[in-house]
Structure 1
């Protein structure tokens, strides 16, 4: 009787998983397998394997390094700025708090193209900063069409992700641990360093990884600000559309996907370690 129940449960599990597995295989596994295989073909520009060309050709190394650098910087600064803001919002109540939280998280509703357009409105040729500098010094200050503008755009849509995650994590913190630390003579900085930060560390790690992965693959914002910047999404787009270099586009896509997957996996592992660490 027990064996029959177990068989039914296994059949039911297979039946319920079948649609998800079919979608996974059709829309991810098969295309990605084809992408990996295509990356082994010869690069049209160098005549060598596309994966090998990424490691030997300067333009691809620069693109990869720039993308890694800006993504790491955005993730670190977003966690620093929004982590403090999220903790403050989670611990304090004041008139208009709900409106402020809604405003701070509103960028989550914007696609990358809109974020890029907002950066142009701020730091473009006719943006607010250019208009102000023309009035003040009779010269235009611009940053929109550069890596600085891209950094601002990535930071803009990363901050709301951190704020919402940190606020949720702060709600689960055990305040008795903070009270115990203060009763033992710990100051505010000591409590923050030894109790609060370790308590929300898994949330900080996971949201930093999400910001990193999002920045690594963000295309709409970069494309809106200019297609001449040397970052991976634009490089993939250029190889695919401008040069029909499908092998290189595939290889770059695989490398980009592997890097973001490793970052997410490492963050998940570290977050799990933090959750299981002794107090």
Structure 2
């Protein structure tokens, strides 16, 4: 009966399957074939390790994404738990402001970083008044980090708040009554309870940072990250094979991270059950 019921309602997921096939699976297969049918054949995938620029771009992108992810998790965990547990005037407004960057495309966020830390930015104006020298870092790796962090925090904090809502405060009271310090309560009670949300939001944050283009296009004039390297290879160098190869590698890395995070989340759920 259950199998017949599943078959009966299989058509409900048909639109999702068609969308996934048309906009993900087929384009990825085409990219893989383009890269493999170049002059170097399938060996083109090893160029990312033998080409200094491509390898440095890959490492810079991974390091930047990991750093953004860790920072966003720390800030969002502290803020998310606080906002969930405390009621005060303006709380809802503050939550709205924190998630407001979701409405901005990457280019707008890039311009906001320029207005903050560019040649005519607020930080430069203040530093010029204080020390007589403008501090400008909008177009450096630090500027790109701020831009990525700006659009990553809303994605993470929403998940953390939703996870914190399910936490049982009684567990902390029990731990406190048994003499546990606040540090032990955080490490042994709060963080384990938040672990599914931390893993899921961290993986999404990492994947988003790996593939972010709009902010990188606006700020990364002196920085090579994978998104910009792919854009340059495709548009300026007309190196379609190289762009396809880098795109597949980028997609593979993000897919692996998302798959691992999904597996870890499932394991945590099974253990909790």
Please indicate, yes or no, whether the TM-score normalized by the shorter chain is above 0.5: yes
Provide closer, same or farther for how the CA distance between residues 9 and 163 of structure 1 changes in structure 2, counting only shifts above 3 A: closer
Alpha-carbon contact 1:41-1:49 (below 8 Å) kept: no
* Match status 1:13 vs 2:9: yes
Shift in Å, 1:185: 1.6
Cα shift readout 1:223-242 (whole Å, capped 9, x = no counterpart): 01134411000000000000
State the partner residue of 1:212: 206
State the partner residue of 1:239: 233
Query: 2:9 & 2:49 partners in 1: Cα distance?
Result: 44
For the pair shown, the structure with the greater C-alpha radius of gyration is 1
- What's the RMSD between the two structures over aligned residues? 2.0
Shift in Å, 1:187: 2.2
* Match status 1:52 vs 2:46: yes
1:42 to 38, 41, 50: 38
State the partner residue of 1:30: 26
Provide closer, same or farther for how the CA distance between residues 35 and 139 of structure 1 changes in structure 2, counting only shifts above 3 A: same
Query: 1:169 & 1:140 partners in 2: Cα distance?
Result: 42
Provide closer, same or farther for how the CA distance between residues 16 and 82 of structure 1 changes in structure 2, counting only shifts above 3 A: closer
Compute the TM-score of the two structures, normalised by the length of structure 1.
Answer: 0.92
Shift in Å, 1:57: 0.9
1:214-233 equivalent positions in 2, closer than 5 A? 214-233=208-227
Count of equivalent residues: 273
Compute the TM-score of the two structures, normalised by the length of structure 2.
Answer: 0.94
Cα shift readout 1:113-167 (whole Å, capped 9, x = no counterpart): 1110000000000000111122222221100011110001111111112211111
Query: 1:40 & 1:227 partners in 2: Cα distance?
Result: 30
Cα shift readout 1:60-118 (whole Å, capped 9, x = no counterpart): 10000000000000000110111111111111111111111111111111110111000
Query: 2:27 & 2:42 partners in 1: Cα distance?
Result: 23
Query: 1:267 & 1:47 partners in 2: Cα distance?
Result: 32
State the partner residue of 1:66: 60
Alpha-carbon contact 1:124-1:130 (below 8 Å) kept: yes
Is the partner of 1:230 in helix, strand or coil? coil
State the partner residue of 1:185: 179
2:144 to 147, 150, 166: 150
Cα shift readout 1:182-231 (whole Å, capped 9, x = no counterpart): 22121222111111110011101111111100000000001011344110
Is the partner of 1:277 in helix, strand or coil? helix
Q: Which runs of 5+ in 2 are unaligned?
A: none
Provide closer, same or farther for how the CA distance between residues 136 and 36 of structure 1 changes in structure 2, counting only shifts above 3 A: same
Is the partner of 1:65 in helix, strand or coil? helix
Query: 1:257 & 1:47 partners in 2: Cα distance?
Result: 19
Provide closer, same or farther for how the CA distance between residues 9 and 137 of structure 1 changes in structure 2, counting only shifts above 3 A: closer
Q: Which deviates more, 218-227 or 231-240?
A: 218-227
* Match status 1:139 vs 2:133: yes
1:121-132 equivalent positions in 2, closer than 5 A? 121-132=115-126
Q: Which deviates more, 133-142 or 103-112?
A: 133-142
Provide closer, same or farther for how the CA distance between residues 123 and 111 of structure 1 changes in structure 2, counting only shifts above 3 A: same
Alpha-carbon contact 1:166-1:204 (below 8 Å) kept: yes
